[in-house]
Amino acid sequence: MGRRSLHTAEELRELIIGASTELIQESGLSGLSAREIARRINYSPGTLYNSFENLDDLVLTIEGRLLDDLLASISSLPTADDPRKQVHAIANCYLTFAGRNPKLWNLLFEHHVPASQAIPDWYRQKLEALMGKVEDVLAPLADGLDAEELRRSARVLWAGVHGVSSLSAADKLSTITADDANVLMDNLIRNYLAGFEGARRQPA
The confidence band for 109, taking pLDDT boundaries of 50, 70 and 90, is confident
The confidence band for 201, taking pLDDT boundaries of 50, 70 and 90, is low
Q: Mean pLDDT, to the nearest integer, of 49-69?
A: 94
Same fold for the domain at 1-52 and the one at 54-201? Answer: no
Q: Can you give the pLDDT at residue 1?
A: 41
CATH architecture of 1-52: Orthogonal Bundle (1.10)
* pLDDT tens, position by position, 13-33: 999 999 999 999 998 898 899
Q: Can you give the pLDDT at residue 170?
A: 82
State the Cα–Cα distance between residues 116 and 120, nearest whole angstrom: 12
125: pLDDT strictly greater than 50? yes
Q: Can you give the pLDDT at residue 5?
A: 54
Task: Note whether 21 and 62 are within 8 A (CB).
Answer: yes
Task: Note whether 66 and 107 are within 8 A (CB).
Answer: yes
Q: Which fold has domain 54-201?
A: Tetracycline Repressor; domain 2 (1.10.357)
Q: Mean pLDDT, to the nearest integer, of 110-137?
A: 91
| CA-based end-to-end distance of the chain | 71
The confidence band for 202, taking pLDDT boundaries of 50, 70 and 90, is low
State the Cα–Cα distance between residues 45 and 20, nearest whole angstrom: 13
Residue 67 burial (10 A CB sphere; 0-12, 13-18, 19+)? middle
The chain-wide mean pLDDT, for the chain, equals 89
DSSP letter string, 36-92: HHHHHHTS-GGGHHHH-SSHHHHHHHHHHHHHHHHHHHHHTSPPPSSHHHHHHHHHH
Considering only CA atoms, give the Rg of the chain. Answer: 20
User: Where are the chain's structural domains?
Assistant: 1-52, 54-201
State the Cα–Cα distance between residues 198 and 181, nearest whole angstrom: 26
122: pLDDT strictly greater than 90? yes
144: pLDDT strictly greater than 90? no
Q: How many residues does the chain have?
A: 204
Q: Can you give the pLDDT at residue 71?
A: 96
203: pLDDT strictly greater than 60? no
Q: Can you give the pLDDT at residue 199?
A: 63
Q: Mean pLDDT, to the nearest integer, of 62-83?
A: 94
4: pLDDT strictly greater than 80? no
Closest CA to 77 of 137, 163, 159, 138: 137
183: pLDDT strictly greater than 60? yes
